[in-house]
Amino acid sequence: MTETKVTWHGHACFTIDMGTKIVVDPFLNGNPKADITPEKVKADIVVVTHAHSDHLGDAVQICKNNSAELVTMVELAWKLSEENPDLKVHDINISGSATIKGVRISAVQAVHSSTYNGEYAGPPMGAIIEKGFKIYHAGDTGVFKDMELIGDLYKPDLSLLPIGGHYTMGPEEAALACKMLKARYTIPMHYNTFDKIMNDPKVLADLAKRDKSTEVIMAKIGEEITFDASGRKVA
């Protein structure tokens, strides 16, 4: 396993470098917290958890700029393929996966909704991204009991969990999710972008420390966090 570099770009957007470059939920244009523009994103793979504009965001543009391959839920994949015939799309569904340039991306359940241009766009998903090191990007979700199954089956090293409340779980629910997922590390996301999702990641960090369930990394936007070949965070 090579080292893995993870950078949060605000809201639910992360770039992940596993030797192969991945971007997840690239909502950059219109994101008041984003530290980069779509033109600066370098990606081999683009992963989209659901069709809401603050997650689909600039995915199509980034794919076209980089000749990158898009991985998303089947119904959304079909809609985007119809609009962009030259787009290379992998249309997965829950428990399905695609392997691209050595990176395996699997779709897991998320408890949320998903519409595209006012129409149903299939269910939302979370994504397991793995190339030795395993990352669970929860997308938008509430807490649900089958997070235990995700933890048992995929054994993520790092979980990326929404904590904003209002549209997703908040810190208290995310703390319960951490106990079920059992990831070594957790990065909170999807908070403080807009007024309705203002929340404090320290609440999650304190609860997780009390429960000894995970180490919460309170990432700064634009900060690159490195995990070594053994899966440990580099100080």
Mean pLDDT value across residues 225-232:
96
Q: Looking at residue 12, what is its pLDDT?
A: 98
Percentage of residues in the chain having pLDDT higher than 90: 99
Q: How far is CA 48 from the centre of its chain?
A: 8
Spatial distance between the Cα atoms of 182 and 179, rounded to a whole number of angstroms = 6
Q: Is residue 78 domain-resident?
A: yes
- With beta carbons less than 8 A apart as the criterion, state whether 176 and 146 touch: no
Domain contains 227: no
Q: In whole angstroms, what is the distance from residue 232 CA to residue 234 CA?
A: 6
DSSP tag of 147: H
Tell me the average pLDDT across 15-39: 98
Mean pLDDT score across all residues of the chain? 97
What is the reported pLDDT for 160?
Answer: 99
In eight-state DSSP terms, residue 87 is -
Beta carbons within 8 Å of 28's beta carbon, 6+ residues apart = 9, 13, 34, 36, 37, 38, 41, 57, 58
Task: Please say if the pLDDT value at position 228 is more than 90.
Answer: yes
135-167 pLDDT, tens digit each: 999 999 999 999 999 999 999 999 999 999 999
Residue 225 placed within a domain:
no
Question: 69-73 and 89-92: which strand pairing?
Answer: parallel
Report the pLDDT value the prediction gives residue 52, as an integer from 0 to 100: 98
Residue 232 within any structural domain of the chain = no
Q: Say if 186 falls within a structural domain.
A: yes
DSSP for 158-186, please give it.
Answer: EEEEE---TTS--HHHHHHHHHHH--SEE
Q: How many CB atoms lie within 10 A of CB 158?
A: 26
Task: Strand 103-109: give its sheet, edge to edge.
Answer: 97-100, 103-109, 125-131, 133-137, 158-162, 185-189, 215-216
pLDDT at 198: 98
Residue 65 included in any domain = yes
Q: Is residue 226 part of a domain?
A: no
Per cent of the chain over pLDDT 70 is 99
Q: How many domains does the chain have?
A: 1
Q: Is 232 left (phi over 0), alpha (psi -120 to 50) or beta?
A: beta
Residue 121 domain boundaries: 4-220
Query: What φ, ψ does residue 129 adopt, rounded to 5°?
Result: -115, 120
Q: What is the pLDDT of residue 2?
A: 85
The domain that holds 66 is classified in CATH as 3.60.15.10
Q: 86 lies in a domain?
A: yes
Assess whether pLDDT exceeds 80 at residue 91.
Answer: yes
pTM over 0.85: yes
Place of tokens 């991985």: 71
